Structure 1
Amino acid sequence: MSLQVQNDGPAPSAPFSAAAAGVRAGEPAFQVIRRNGAVTPFDASKIAVALTKAFLAVEGGSAAVSRRVHEIVAELTGQVVANLTRRADAGRTFHIEDIQDQAELALMRGEHHKVARAYVLYRAQRAKERAARLVSEPAPVVLHVRTADGALAPLDVARLTDLAREACAGLDGVSAEPILAETRRNLYDGISEQELALAPILAARTLIETEPNYAKASARLLNDMLRREALSFVFGRPDQATQAEMAERYAEFFPACVKIGVDAEILDPELGRFDLARLAAALKPERDLQFDYLGLQTLYDRYFLHVSGRRFELPQTFFMRVAMGLALREIDREARAIEFYDLLSSFDFMASTPTLFNSGTLRPQLSSCFLTTVSDDLDGIFKAIRDNALLAKYSGGLGNDWTRVRGLGAHIKGTNGESQGVVPFLKVANDTAIAVNQGGKRKGAVCAYLETWHVDIEEFLDLRKNTGDDRRRTHDMNTANWIPDLFMERVEAGADWTLFSPDETPDLHDLVGKPFKAAYEAHEARAERGEIRIFRKVKALDLWRRMLTMLFETGHPWITFKDPCNLRSPQSHVGVVHSSNLCTEITLNTGADEVAVCNLGSVNLAAHVSADGLDRARIERTVRTAMRMLDNVVDINFYTIPEARRSNLRHRPVGLGLMGFQDALETLRLPVASEKAVAFADASMEAISYFAISASVDLAAERGRYASFEGSLWSKGVLPIDSLDLLEAARDGNVEIDRSSTLDWAALRARVTTTGMRNSNVMAIAPTATISNIIGVSQSIEPAYSQLYVKANMSGDFTVVNANLVHDLKARGLWDEVMISDLKYYDGMASAIDRVPDDLKALYATAFEIAPEWLLRAAARRQKWIDQAQSLNLYIAEPSGRKLDAAYRLAWRLGLKTTYYLRARSATQVEKSTLKGVDGKLNAVSAEPVPTASPGGCSLDDPTCEACQ
């Protein structure tokens, strides 16, 4: 039985019509596969009859009981129907056992435990009776498959068997037999080709929770279905190939695939002018075997190019297409394309989602993030909203600085009226993000930033509330506080804080550090003298508490810090960082004539460690090639507005990040809540930083410095580790950061000053929500939040189990049905299970089991090496005002530039009961934790958060 993600809500009442069963007009009715292979129409009323009999058998048949049972059964039957129809993958068929499984779940959801137990025992007895009859029953009839033209052909049992065995080849702990057994259970005479292709995939998926390698077997079975679709489309005839056959056929398929894309006016015709035979010979078909099911399904659903819904890409042609798009302007572009392909397809590095979507296409919008500053006039405001639409159209994530827009009640000279403040315009921006849904691929995503001294800050805090005037709410837009150090100092001192309208204090927008403090205090004095019209005085601590309260209640606004973002910015000589981006990891200058752009990609840290430690030589190779790819994005990119092009070509910023940090810790046997894990965060980021800066110097030697290099911190020999001195000076020493290092930074510093940098910024750690799924590692720098759960995203529901934990438990003879059941019962927390040894409890502690200080300290050790920022989620199992206050004050004192989502356990976990187990006892099934304050964060793979990766 699959893990359940959610209770599907209110049920339809009896009687149950076709509409209640999810059948739309013109669609074929649902069907049921019986145990003998026969297919009959699905009849929801039979579920109601069975449940009614179960209740009456346990509770008796009095009139009062019957009336109550009728109402209960109506609701339960609706739940069963809703769950079944929601999970109808293809063909609109269910197996009879699946229907009965859902009936058990519905009984447990309603806490009808006695009836559920009786139902379990009844099913077990019936199973024994059927087994006893098997010896006397005749052999099943030969099954047939219905082809696309309606003809019937005998089922090719031999190919089905070979396919399952090929999918399991070389994988420990998996076998073709259980896949085939479950597949046969779901076959029937006249099954369609599509259903037949899906049957072994779905069969293998049910086994993932028992052995994680079934996720790879599922992916290999899925790849067979993808090969059939792509080969048939590209060659214009029904076609299929096994993995072994595809090793030969990729050479023929790849050039044909490129031609299809060019002819369909999807791919740039320049791709057809590459030496396609040379590139085809470089493809590595065996890398198709690396995928887990979630990764390959995600690629198919959202990344592979298609014509009228028919995909014509396969994994290796996809990676080569992306590589070719990034190598278009290289001198030996075939050699570079092969180099880029080899890095991507190895899973050592992955480019961001916009790059994967659009590389090599006619509109190669490859950049991930755009940052803008909104002007304080009507033309400027609506130009910013128009820019948002154009930038979002091709999959860009947006961060808008709204601090310049005058506040509520401010004077409007042109009309001699009063301003309605920033909030009404934020509402328009919110609705624009929904209307322009990134080319139909995912929802538009934008984050609004407002500085803490803005007079509208208190209304800004309320934007995500579900109560109040809906015209002053932005339910779909992310929001973030842009907090100057002076405010935090006032909070710690228990002092007052004054709110201003920016039309009367315009200089505050561009000032940081001690100059900001001087100007701010001067404006406070002006306000006291009556020289400022719009201002309001509040207690800094009261405003801070309200910020944290809204963060807990609504998930917004996020907490980000203006001064460290600016004081440590390499580009402070040519502008000001006025906000971060959608996911809080980008810190670039914005202004009236510059829209900041960042191009992202992430190193798979898990691939660069072994039990012996960090492989620095491999990291150096990966980073060198990755930086070249990211730098190429700047020149190849399709810019939808001129301000973005101007800014990107002038400064050439990129953001190299990492993912798989939790996997790396598990490989190294380092618990996340440990000093050694903090030290590893430091050492790993130091290596990436060192080689990224070095690679940018090499590119500068080859291609030239970026245009605004002179006067930058780089030009003065101030590297990210050195810029801590600037923050420390501005705070009069109030920075708690370890300053140790291990590499030869003096030599690199000399190279930077003499040769220069190709890129103004080189590092940023993004959430990597989707690209982590593609390569099968933990997201970004995230700790594990469960060891066994269901992940729900736009591609469906996926069982996820920590393979490292399973392998460790197997090695100690502890992985069995009881352990699976216990992990489900305890929401994926190994620490709650007595049988799990203490060392494994520590190693596999989940995010909500560790103190947030560990995550903050590790982030601070990374931040000293990063010239931009990092998307840092905080996890607090039982939040309180005191805990939130302590965590976010510590983040500020540690010199962090930004934080991202606050994750808190939901007060009520989603329903998760099932009766499948080892002894008939009830077992609970974990669903992915839902953050109380974060409805749609990147850990849930929400499109809002994956805009950066």
Structure 2
Amino acid sequence: MQTDIFAEAPPATTQPSAPAAPGQLRVIKRNGTVVGYDDNKIALAISKAFLAIEGSAAANSSRIHETVAQLTTLVSATFKRRMPSGGMVHIEEIQDQVELALMRSGEQKIARAYVLYRDERARARDVDMPSATKHHPTLHVLKADGSRHLLDLGRLEALVSNACEGLSGVEPQAIVEDTLRNLYDGAAEADINNVLVMCARVMIEQEPNYTYVTARLLLDHLRSEGLSFMGIAELASQAEMSQYYPQALPVYITRGIELELLDPALASYDMARLGAALKPERDFQFTYLGLQTLYDRYFLHSNDIRFELPQIFFMRVAMGLAMQETGDREARVIEFYDLMSSFDYMASTPTLFNAGTLRPQLSSCYLTTIPDDLHGIYGSIQDNAMLSKWAGGLGNDWTPVRALGAYIKGTNGKSQGVVPFLKVANDTAVAVNQGGKRKGAVCAYLETWHLDIEEFVELRKNTGDDRRRTHDMNTANWVPDLFMKRVFDGGEWTLFSPSDVPDLHDLYGKAFEQRYTEYERQCDNGQMRLFKRIQAKDLWRKMLSMLFETGHPWITFKDVCNLRSPQQHVGVVHSSNLCTEITLNTSKDEIAVCNLGSVNLVNHVSETGLDQAKLRRTVRTAVRMLDNVIDINYYAVEAARTSNMRHRPVGMGIMGFQDALYKQKLAYASDDAVTFADRSMEAISYYAIEASSELAGERGRYSTFDGSLWSRGVLPIDSLWALAEHRGAEYVEVDFSQTLDWATLREQVKTVGMRNSNVMAIAPTATISNICGVSQSIEPTYQNLYVKSNLSGEFTVVNPYLVHELKARGLWDPVMVNDLKYYEGSVQKLERIPADMKAIYATAFEIEPRWLVDAGSRRQKWIDQAQSLNLYLAEASGKKLDITYRMAWYRGLKTTYYLRAIGATAAEKSTVSDGALNAVKAQIEDMVVAAPVPLACSIDNPDCEACQ
């Protein structure tokens, strides 16, 4: 049967095609030409597949005609969804989707015939290819100057061979042959690397090691681009980089300064010493996704030419972070470089973007409190714009702004409430897009007693008055314990305007409860005019209903953030940040700032557990780097400088938690994994506090140390008792176990002090974990095989731990690949997979959320700030959401982040009608019936990368 979707043109007549118009999908054929995407050709191919199996009767079957139309729409929708702005897709990828669509629709017989035919045609193409083309091709390439030369097959084969060196399961010759099939006579020399990369990357789903092959092939382009720009060499092999890297570093610094991209102070370093410290072999650590992400978004460029090479990139960041080191600065630079280039630790995205540049805005998060006056509100929005411009993620506390209907003395009128101002803040975040590197991002927080809370929770709805909607802004509830107690006890809840109860904003714990109940008495006595009484459970249901429908507002808890804050003596934590892991004081005079980075946990774990000695070394250097950020940082707003210099907070987190479990053969949903979360965070907490205390001995304490919990010898694990005392036994269940010598550390902290008011926070690490090739933050595996889309493009992601274990057990074959595709990366329904592997390789939606909460609770006891904790629900229902979020509060979590639900993924395959959505919402409001969450949050949203 003839089922090629796009007919092949003879190579002799092939000409380079024009680039695709914006928004247009284009198809790369096997001979390298590009043609327009055509639905009709897909329909034709599927129809012929049916005709080949079912005969001529299929031509007159209305069922088959309908099936063909549905499958064609499904295949096309996949690519249009992935590339809404247009782009290029290879013919093999289209045929993969046709094959997958046939299997998912239950047409196994047709799918099998289609697979066999594809295999038959591939073999025929190999036979038809002249042997001279295979081994001594007469293909010509066009150089940039227009001259025509024979393809250097020797270099191409050597390049591929070097890229495959030391990797098991990869076949260099297969890449070479596939590349030759995709080239045409007269192809541009610059396009050869693109074809090589394309041919290698389609093999990733068959063998995870091809991701390293693809990255190494991409390196050839990087080397050529960077070294040519610097005038060092036009072409270079990776082996030659031991010679070229030391030469390139001083040239790079000089050119970067001339282009006004780098700080001239970098030229004062000993370039020969730093150049000799560069490790070219570490270029081979990158996965394709990691290297492509760096290339697209991080490397310095001039006129769109990237002249920053991977190891020089890490050296530039290290040099920028050591600018104010005293003594042997070069030794510190090399120490910092070694830590990052080994992937043992990675600085946050703003630090990687801007270290060593003329505007070193290195901090990740900014938290502000919005005052209740027009000048202050618009001044805060201007602050948002300035901070966002230089890649900062924002958390705004809007609670002080008076509610709708509140009296305005100056105009003798009534307030329009907080929502119109939130709309302005939303549009400001869209307008200021961080220099085109990523979208501006902000999260608005409002306390649950605010009179505008019911409208606030609806801000992300797709219906209603669009002037009172904020489609681009994240939102979060700032929930006091008293509200949760009323929910548990079935009590009433009273909403106020902050202009009538201004002190509630700065109160927490028992003081808040006493004052709040006093205001309720005033309402009862007629002393308070503007208020509203509702059932606490009704508001809770509405909060969960909106979380269900829109993924917002997130649920965060005010009292635990304040009761466990080391800085209670100098202020109040009024909100968290963009990603809910930062819990720092804010006021009208101080914008809280946090500086982030993450330890790569898997690099500190063996099959037998944690490498404590290595972990301690890593943490000590990491804390020093983070502390340096505070002094080097560019502050776009003076209130941010004031706060950061007074308190010097940093937030060291972790990533690769799931990889660390795989390495130890532990299932995420297990008591052993919860214990590992506890013990690993205990060690990190101990070493981070120890490192900050040692820095205090070297550099001095932070200025507000006296009076802090630290100064009283109260460490994060100790502050847990304050929470238990405040809530009472019936409202809290936390674990107090510990294994290290905390008594000695307490005395050291009391005696020597702390350099930083806060030292730990677990951020999402959405991009830096991609750079390091590990799982994000503390996240479970999303799927074992899927396509990841971000601002750098589309990438096949396959779980290498699963594949390598399947190979070891003799279970990895093409059928297994197709089965994983069919079941969307899940192994649970595959009978061939042993039970122990099903437990270890369960994916995020196959893990009960209680395990996520339990592990989060064990970590939280050691952390002085918070953690970005996503919750995954496979079968969301009102009852399950209610139990999950109550449990998060009950177990002492400070914050939660996105609600991720099966519906968010399933929404890619089908459209949920408004009627169905409304019916589901009604069910959740009754808290009884299970239903999917259709529109929670994209699992892979590039907008969520603002923290890291």
> Does the TM-score normalized on the shorter chain lie above 0.5?
yes
Quote the residue 2:814 is aligned against: 817
Q: How far, CA to CA, are the matches of 1:756 and 1:599 in structure 2? A: 20
**Distance (Å, rounded) in 1 between the aligned partners of 2:133 and 2:749:** 81
1:831 is displaced (CA, Å) by 2.4
CA distance 1:831–1:691, shift in 2 (3 Å): same
Local SS of the residue matching 2:193: helix
Distance 1:145 1:691, change over 3 A: same
Paired with 2:240 and 2:647, the residues of 1 have a C-alpha distance of 48
Residue aligning to 2:251: 256
Which residue of 1 is the match for residue 916 of structure 2? none
Change (3 A) 1:46 1:788: closer
Aligned AA for 2:259?
Answer: A
Amino acid at match of 1:607: N
1:154 partnered with 2:153: no
Counterpart of 1:251, as a letter, is P
Q: Distance in 2 between matches of 1:783 and 1:259?
A: 44
Aligned-partner SS, 2:740: coil
Which residue of the partner structure matches residue 763 of structure 1? 760
Match for residue 883 of structure 1? 880
Percent pairwise identity: 64
Pairing 1:324–2:303 present: no
2:609 to 602, 605, 613: 613
Deviates more, 1:116-125 or 1:403-412: 116-125
Correspondence 1:186-225 to 2 at 5 A: 186-225=182-221
Residue 948 of structure 1: aligned partner: 947
Deviation at 1:665, TM superposition (A): 1.0
Which segment is superposed worse, 330-339 or 125-134? Answer: 125-134
Q: Is the 8 A contact 2:446 2:476 kept in 1?
A: yes
Q: What's 2:913 paired with? A: none
The equivalent of 1:781 in structure 2 is 778
- The residue correspondences of 1:149-548 to structure 2 (distance < 5 A) are 149-235=145-231, 239-331=234-326, 332-548=328-544
Q: 1:783 to 1:620 in 2, by over 3 A?
A: same
Contact in 2 for aligned 1:902/1:933 (Cα 8 Å): no
Secondary structure of 1:235's counterpart equals coil
Change (3 A) 1:497 1:67: closer
Q: Which letter does structure 1 place at the counterpart of 2:480?
A: P
In structure 2, the CA distance between the partners of 1:373 and 1:291, relative to structure 1 (3 Å rule), is same
**Helix, strand or coil for the counterpart of 1:647?**
helix
Q: Residues 55 and 576 of structure 1: is their aligned pair in 2 closer, same or farther, counting only changes over 3 Å?
A: same
Query: How far has the Cα of 1:59 moved from its partner?
Result: 7.5
* Preserved contact between residue 559 and residue 898 of structure 1 (Cα < 8 Å): yes
The answer to whether the 8 A contact 1:720-1:865 is kept is: yes
| Partner SS for 1:769 | coil
1:837 and 2:834 correspond: yes
Q: Does structure 2 conserve the Cα–Cα contact (< 8 Å) formed by 1:33 and 1:93? A: no
Change (3 A) 1:61 1:192: farther
What are structure 2's unaligned runs of at least 5 residues? 1-16, 911-931
Q: Please list the CA deviations of residues 156-178 of structure 1 after superposition, one character each: whole Å capped at 9, or x if unmatched.
A: 10111111110111112222122
Q: Aligned letter for 1:305?
A: L
Deviates more, 1:878-887 or 1:814-823: 814-823
Distance change >3 Å, CA 88–CA 932, structure 1 → 2: closer
Contact kept, 8 Å, 1:59 with 1:65, in 2: the verdict is no
The C-alpha deviation readout for 1:300-326, integer Å capped at 9, x for no partner, is 010000011100111100000000000
How has the CA–CA distance of structure 1 residues 685 and 86 changed in structure 2, closer, same or farther, with 3 Å as cutoff?
closer
CA contact (8 A) 1:88 1:94 kept: no
CA distance, structure 1, for counterparts of residue 141 and residue 551 of structure 2: 51
Instruction: Give the corresponding residue for 2:920.
Output: none
**More displaced stretch, 111-120 vs 838-847:** 111-120
Instruction: Tell me the amino acid that sits aligned with residue 668 of structure 2.
Output: V
Secondary structure of residue in 1 paired with 2:596: strand
Normalising by structure 2, report the TM-score. Answer: 0.90
Partner residue of 1:679 out of 675, 680, 692? 675
The whole-number CA distance in structure 2 between the counterparts of 1:32 and 1:688 is 49
Distance in 2, matches of 1:792 and 1:181, equals 28
Structure-2 separation of matches of 1:668 and 1:63: 56
- Deviation string 1:868-894 (CA, Å, 9 cap, x unpaired) is 000001111001111111111111111
Partners of 1:514 and 1:122 in 2: how far apart? 73
Alpha-carbon distance in 2 for matches of 1:88, 1:153: 38
Tell me the alpha carbon deviations over residues 849-870 of structure 1, each in whole angstroms, 9 at most, x when there is no partner: 1211111111111111110000
1:791 corresponding residue in structure 2? 788
Measured after TM superposition, the shift of residue 116 of structure 1 is: 6.3
Does 2:860 correspond to 1:863? yes
Residues 104 and 718 of structure 1: CA distance in aligned 2, closer, same or farther (over 3 Å): closer
Query: Could you tell me whether the CA contact under 8 Å between 1:319 and 1:341 is conserved in 2?
Result: yes
Distance 1:431 1:403, change over 3 A: same
> Comparing 898-907 with 297-306, which one deviates more in the overlay?
898-907
Describe the SS at the equivalent of 1:897.
coil
Residues 180-211 of structure 1: CA deviation (Å, up to 9, x unaligned): 12212211111112220112211111111121
Q: In 1, Cα distance between the equivalents of 2:75 and 2:359?
A: 45
2:562 is paired with a residue of what secondary structure? helix
Partners of 1:266 and 1:816 lie apart in 2 by 49
Q: Could you tell me which amino acid in structure 2 is paired with residue 157 of structure 1?
A: L
Q: Are residues 46 and 627 of structure 1, via their aligned partners in 2, closer, same or farther at CA, if it must alter by over 3 Å? A: closer
In the superposition, the TM-score normalised over structure 1's length comes to: 0.90
User: Match for 1:188: what amino acid?
Assistant: Y
- Amino acid aligned to 1:526: Q
How far the C-alpha of 1:832 sits from its partner, in A, is 2.0
Q: 1 CA distance for matches of 2:732 and 2:250?
A: 57
Q: Deviations over 1:622-661 (max 9, x none)?
A: 0000000000000000000000000000000000100111
Alignment partners' CA distance in 1, 2:27 and 2:651: 51
Deviation at 1:674, TM superposition (A): 1.3
SS at structure 2 position matched to 1:753: helix
Which amino acid is 2:573 matched to?
V
- Partner secondary structure for residue 368 of structure 2: strand
For residues 82 and 827 of structure 1, the distance between their equivalents in structure 2, rounded to whole angstroms, comes to: 14
Structure 1: gaps of 5 or more residues: 1-19, 914-930
Alpha-carbon separation, structure 1, partners of 2:90 and 2:546: 47
Among 639, 656, 664, the residue aligned to 2:660: 664
Question: For residue 557 of structure 1, what is the aligned residue in structure 2?
Answer: 553
The root-mean-square deviation of aligned C-alpha atoms, in Å, is 3.1
Contact 2:71 2:101 in 1 (8 A): no
Greater mean alpha carbon deviation, residues 41-50 or residues 358-367: 41-50
Q: Which of 700, 707, 721 pairs up with 2:703? A: 707
What CA distance in whole angstroms lies between the structure 1 residues aligned with 2:674 and 2:555? Answer: 22
CA positional deviation for 1:545: 1.1
Q: Secondary structure at the match of 1:781?
A: coil
Distance 1:560 1:21, change over 3 A: farther
**Residue of structure 1 in register with 2:844 after alignment:** 847
- Cα deviations by residue, 1:367-395 (Å, 9 ceiling, x for unpaired): 00000000001011111111100000011
For 1:945, the aligned partner's letter is C
The answer to whether the 8 Å contact 1:903/1:933 transfers is no
Letter in 1 for 2:836: D
Report SS of the residue matched to 1:721. helix
Q: Which amino acid aligns with 1:871?
A: S
Partner of 2:870: 873
**SS of the residue aligned with 2:717?**
coil
Q: Compared with structure 1, are the counterparts of its residues 943 and 792 closer, same or farther at alpha carbon in structure 2 (3 Å cutoff)?
A: closer
Report SS of the residue matched to 2:230: helix
Cα distance between partner residues in 2 of 1:879 and 1:30? 39
Q: Does structure 2 conserve the Cα–Cα contact (< 8 Å) formed by 1:406 and 1:501? A: yes
Offset at residue 943 of structure 1 (A): 3.3
Name the structure, 1 or 2, with higher relative contact order (CA <8 Å, separation 6+): 1
Q: Which residue of 1 aligns with 2:596?
A: 600
Instruction: Give the secondary-structure state (helix, strand or coil) at the position aligned to 2:568.
Output: coil
